[in-house]
Amino acid sequence: MHFRVLLEFFYDEAGKDDIVAHHFRGLQGVDIVFLDSLRKPPTWLYMLRVNLDKLLAHLTESRWADDRPERNYYSGRFAELDEVINRFLYMLPEPHRGLLKSRVDEFERANAPKYRTN
């Protein structure tokens, strides 16, 4: 679920009360070119999202189909998303960067053994 939330934050348009990366455009020093690049999502995003939706949010026959991706297919995208997270983080001006970085570091310390992909 966290993976889906991050994908939505970086690549979706804002819904009624969603907070997305594009909301940060107004901060002084923000890299607008980087934020605009997120408006063109990676080619793999659509199919990954369809598969995750079936796997996590629906009880369907296709959830158990033979042609669904292996679980490690999703973790293969973690490094790419991690790069986007880091670019976003270091684009933010202080004090926003420090606050977000401390939260990311706290999460990684608490969860690193669970989420290692190598």
Residue 81 confidence (pLDDT): 86
Please tell me whether residue 13 adopts helix, strand or coil conformation. coil
Q: Give yes or no for residue 105 having a pLDDT over 80.
A: yes
Give the tens place of pLDDT for each residue, 8-40. Answer: 888 888 778 888 888 888 888 888 888 888 888
Q: Provide the strand spans (E) within the chain.
A: none
Which pTM value belongs to this model? Answer: 0.69
Tell me the chain's radius of gyration from C-alpha atoms. 16
Q: In three state form, how does the secondary structure of 34-67 look?
A: HHHHCCCCCCCHHHHHHHHHHHHHCCCHHHHCCC
- Cα(22)–Cα(91) distance, integer angstroms: 13
Residue 30 confidence (pLDDT): 85
Residue 101 confidence (pLDDT): 85
Give the tens place of pLDDT for each residue, 45-92. Answer: 888 887 777 666 656 665 556 566 666 677 778 888 888 988 898 888
- Neighbouring C-beta atoms of residue 82, cutoff 10 Å: 12
Residue 67 confidence (pLDDT): 61
Region of residue 29 (phi > 0: left; psi between -120 and 50: alpha; otherwise: beta): left
